[in-house]
């Protein structure tokens, strides 16, 4: 990793209501969960990120593009019922991931903890043996570090007075990291939103 990559790190100061949490990230870079996850990878002097998802994964596409912008190599383990690269095509998020220069590895449609995570760890070990410094990004970027992206989003909504006029927050859920961050922020701030 070059010094230019570390120059992209921004110092993170949590909102007062979140300052009692353990292991608060030191830096952020961009795009909600990934802004903290990729900052952690850069801070740990990693040069490669590895993550997983489905063929049309928004998380994988975003990781591929952000990694390229930060000068990181990117490996995507993409679930597919067809293991022939030529058969999966090159549309949508898969096209953008390829355009960003990510390394695409097609894998069977396995569960994360029992199948995909061990596969990611094997790829990481092989890369370490080749001299790389890999960083594993949980599916969807949903990790303790990643949830700070949505603690920050909640604070932004508070700063913009958006929450005062609503009773509920509705969001989409994939890997659960967004929901976890919003729920924890809602609890820590004493908000009564549902």
Active site residues: 57
Helix (H) / strand (E) element for 136: namely strand 134-136
Q: CB 187: neighbour CB atoms within 10 A? A: 10
CB-based burial of residue 179 (10 Å sphere; 0-12 exposed, 13-18 middle, 19+ buried)? middle
Q: CB 144: neighbour CB atoms within 10 A? A: 14
Q: Which residues pair with 149 in a beta bridge?
A: none
CB 37 within 8 A of CB 150: no
Helix (H) / strand (E) element for 30: namely none
Q: How far apart are CA 187 and CA 117, in angstroms?
A: 30
Three-point CA angle 187, 191, 194, nearest 5°: 85
CB 175 within 8 A of CB 147: no
Residues of the chain by 3-state class (helix, strand, coil), percent to 5: 45, 15, 40
């Amino acid at each position: 990793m070059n010094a230019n990559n570390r120059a992209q790190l921004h110092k993170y100061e949590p909102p007062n209501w979140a300052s009692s949490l353990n292991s608060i990230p030191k830096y952020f870079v961009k795009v909600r969960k990934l802004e903290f996850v990729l900052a952690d990878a850069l801070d740990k002097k990693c040069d490669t990120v590895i993550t997983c998802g489905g063929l049309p994964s928004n998380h994988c596409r975003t990781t591929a593009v952000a990694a390229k912008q930060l000068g990181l190599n990117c490996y995507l383990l993409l679930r597919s019922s067809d293991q022939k690269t030529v058969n999966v095509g090159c549309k949508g998020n898969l096209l953008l991931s390829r355009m960003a220069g990510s390394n695409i590895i097609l894998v069977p449609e396995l569960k994360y903890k029992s199948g995909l995570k061990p596969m990611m760890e094997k790829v990481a070990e092989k890369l370490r043996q080749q001299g790389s410094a890999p960083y594993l990004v949980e599916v969807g970027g949903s990790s303790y570090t990643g949830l700070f992206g949505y603690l920050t989003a909640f604070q932004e909504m508070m700063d913009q007075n958006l929450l005062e006029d609503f009773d509920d927050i509705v969001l989409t859920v994939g890997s659960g990291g967004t929901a976890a961050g919003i729920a924890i922020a809602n609890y820590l701030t004493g908000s009564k939103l549902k």
